[in-house]
Amino acid sequence: MNGIVNYPTRRACWPGRAQMNRLAARLAVVATVLGLSTLAFAQEFPGGFVGSVTAEPTTAVVGQDVSYRGEGFEPGAELELIWTSYEVDWDLGIENGSYDGTFKGLERTPRDQPLTVTSADSEGRFEVTTAVPADYGGTHTILVRQDGVNLNQVGLFVPADLSISPESGPVGTDITVTVTGLDSGQPMVWYLLSYDHDLTGFVSAVRSRGTASFVLPAVGAPGPHLIRMEDSPFGHPYLPLDTSPWAHLEVPSVTFTVTPGDTVLPPPVSEQGLAPTPGEAPTGDGPALWFDPVAAPVGTPATIYGRGFEANTALTLAMSNMVGSRVTSSGFTSTLEDLTDVTTDADGAFELAFAYPDTLGGLHDVTARPAGGAPDAALARTQMQVRPVAFELESQQVRYGDTLRLHLKGIGWSQTENIFGISIDNSYIGYACGFSTNGDVQVPIEVSWQPGWHFVDIYPSFYRNKEYSEIDEAPFLFRQSLLTWDDHPSGFHFRYAFEVLPPLEAEAP
């Protein structure tokens, strides 16, 4: 088995070489379609393969111990075991150093890290045990190196794992779901999470190296409820996974038990959302602008500062914005909107109190130009980031047939900020856009639930991919909720609670 990387499965016996060749061919086709490089992790073995190495077990979750055994190495040689992996991030379009509003999927670069060090004995053998590091899931190659030179390698498959805390509680209890071993670098291995087989949303760990946590509300009648992660590269789970080419993938599940007791309600939505990000003065000389905070929800009190301008000079402050729509033939375009005029003091500085504007969410350029000057005569520019804010329901008590109205502001225009997904009682019901209404979104929902408390969760999503019409996109993330909202490029999360009252007829004496 010199130089052979083992690709384990859940089955009791190993596939034959012909089966492995067919699987490798399939993977190569998939990688080509998705624009991945099948050579991303190719390793050099300058002197050919030396010795042999095995791993036991060949499938292990993050944190589990694995024993590596080798033989045929130089007696007494100091050997390094190297864990190979990759760095992953969202691939966002950048133009002139700033986000241009396009989403291009994922980008990844190879990475390796020391796993452990051992020495061959007098017969050229070694055995060492170490835990699987917290990393992305999928197949990892472990290299055996001596003095920086690769000698051999072995494969280890890291499956996704799922746990919850607590495991029981009344309706509304925060269920913290923790996942490890998510393979965000391989687009064929993505998971949808379901609650009692209702699809809730996608789970990702792109920026958190395969490990993520998120919180669901406990819902349903007293008793056990199934929480399950299912492989869903094309937007929906493939149910007979054991008979597919991806039979080696795990479908982890856990049970939460709803217990009798008082309903646990979320805090008001006005207390939810991201906290403002403080700003700071830029370095350097010359005219300059900056905000404090530099990112905040619509309506947040803030200050814009200026310095380095001519003394006692009137300036016009203007903000970039986008107008139009993605879903009409007229399309959209950028604009420059005048905000206000200011006058510098004797030192050429100013500060102006304001509230974060009621406008599209996302990044906005802000410029200062001489009052009355042409829009392109900017003396200084900076950016501010408008974040979403949610407003309370008109009433938390409703009846069957009434209309709930969700109201958010600060929804953006870009392919990562244009929409959000909505789940009720951990069941995805649809999405809403904010572009054509300048970020101000109202969503009417007809009440059709049984009497009792129910929960609305609002999650970020992805509108589309830049090359949407040209690629076989997997996973099909688009217009679905991303439960790991803090892994999203522009993430946010709001939770409402509402109580459905019994029908009026039932209350009559």
Q: What is the pLDDT of residues 202-230, one digit of tens each?
A: 999 999 999 999 999 999 999 999 999 98
pTM: 0.85
CB atoms within 10 A of CB 445: 17
End-to-end CA gap in the chain: 81
Lowest mean pLDDT among 30-34, 179-183, 281-285: 30-34
pLDDT over threshold 80, residue 233: no
**CATH ID of 17-157, from 3.30.930.10, 3.90.1150.10, 2.60.40.10, 1.10.486.10:** 2.60.40.10
In total, the chain counts a number of residues equal to 509
Is residue 16 pLDDT above 70, yes or no? no
Say if residues 268 and 345 touch (Cβ distance below 8 Å): no
Helices (H), 7-72: 17-33
What confidence tier does 385 reach under pLDDT thresholds 50, 70, 90?
A: very high
pLDDT score for 21:
36
Q: Using an 8 Å Cβ cutoff, are 39 and 141 in contact?
A: no
Domains of the chain by residue range: 17-157, 161-270+389-505, 288-385
Buried b (16+ CB within 10 A) or exposed e, 296-322: bbbebebebbbbbbeeebebbbbbbbb
pLDDT at site 469: 58
- pLDDT recorded at residue 26: 37
What share of the chain has pLDDT > 90, as a percent?
68
Q: Report how far residue 180's alpha carbon sits from residue 158's, in angstroms, rounded to the nearest whole number.
A: 9
Indicate whether 61 pLDDT > 90. Answer: yes
Domains 17-157 and 288-385 share a fold: yes
> The domain 161-270+389-505: what is its CATH number?
2.60.40.1930
At residue 99, does pLDDT exceed 80? yes
> In the predicted model, is pLDDT for residue 330 greater than 90?
no
- Averaged pLDDT score across all residues of the chain: 87
Give φ, ψ of 19 to 5 degrees.
Answer: -60, -45
Q: What distance in Å separates the CA atoms of residue 287 and residue 220, rounded to the nearest whole number?
A: 59
Q: Check residues 346 and 25 and name the one with the higher pLDDT.
A: 346
More confident residue, 404 or 21: 404
For domain 288-385, give the fold: Immunoglobulin-like (2.60.40)
Q: Please report the sign of the dihedral spanned by the C-alpha atoms of residue 356, residue 361, residue 362, residue 365.
A: negative
| Residue 485 one-letter amino acid | W
Higher pLDDT, residue 472 or 242: 242
**Residue of 460 and 505 predicted with greater confidence:** 460
Compute, in degrees rounded to 10, the torsion defined by CA atoms 145, 149, 155, 159: 80
Q: For residues 459 and 494, is the Cβ–Cβ distance under 8 A? A: no
Average pLDDT score over residue span 12-31: 35
